[in-house]
Amino acid sequence: HAAMADFLGAASAEEIIIGANMTTLTYHMSRTLGRAMKPGDEIIVTRMDHEGNVSPWLQLAEDLGLVVRFLPFDEKSWQVEEAALSALLSEKTRLVALNYASNLTGSINRVKALTAVAKQAGALVYVDAV
């Protein structure tokens, strides 16, 4: 994880990026973040995300030999739950891609809590907040 932090500079910095559309931004960010990843590293994407926050990561994984893990959402709460995320994280997890508000369920995820779980495991978090 040190290489990722070195690559990104201040790993704890919070930033908002504005651009043409979320899919294009995510594609560009995936390629940028992918420079610090190596075959076997893992990316987690959710089962409730818009395709624009899934396909760029899937393509990056295919190109670099990364492992993609799919994070389910709870069918009672209609949210991504912290326990489900914890169960998928490993020492190889480099990035967790989450959505803030789901176009699938209409629910709002507890991004702050999910981010804390991912960061505790040493993973970066990419949030689609459209």
CA distance 107 to 120: 25
**How confident is the prediction for the chain on average, in pLDDT?**
89
* Phi (first) and psi of residue 14, to 5 degrees: -110, 135
Instruction: Read off the pLDDT of residues 44-58 as tens digits, 9 standing for 90 and up.
Output: 999 998 999 999 999
CATH of the domain at 59: 3.40.640.10
Residue 36 has pLDDT above 50, yes or no: yes
In which domain, by residue range, is 76 found? 2-10+17-128
Judge whether 82 and 111 are in contact, CB under 8 Å. Answer: no
pLDDT at residue 5 in the model: 47
Residue 77 region, left (φ>0) first, then alpha (ψ -120 to 50), else beta? Answer: alpha
Q: What pTM was computed for the model?
A: 0.86
Number of separate domains in the chain: 1
Q: Is the pLDDT of residue 80 over 80?
A: yes
The answer to whether the beta carbons of residues 57 and 27 sit under 8 Å apart is no
What whole-number percentage of the chain has pLDDT above 70?
Answer: 88
**Cα–Cα distance for residue pair 87/52, rounded to 1 Å:** 24
Give the mean model confidence (pLDDT) for residues 21-39: 94
Tens digits of residue pLDDT in 105-130: 889 999 999 999 999 999 999 999 88
Percent of all residues in the chain with a pLDDT value above 90, rounded to a whole number: 74
Confidence of residue 15 (pLDDT cuts 50, 70, 90): low
Amino acid (one-letter) located at 104:
L
pLDDT at 13: 53
Which phi and psi (to 5°) does residue 62 adopt? -65, -45
CB neighbour burial string for 74-84, b if at least 16 within 10 angstroms, e if fewer: eeeeebbbeeb
Nearest to 108 by CA among 83, 129, 86, 87: 129
Distance CA 18, CA 45 (A): 21
Residue 23 in 3-state DSSP? helix
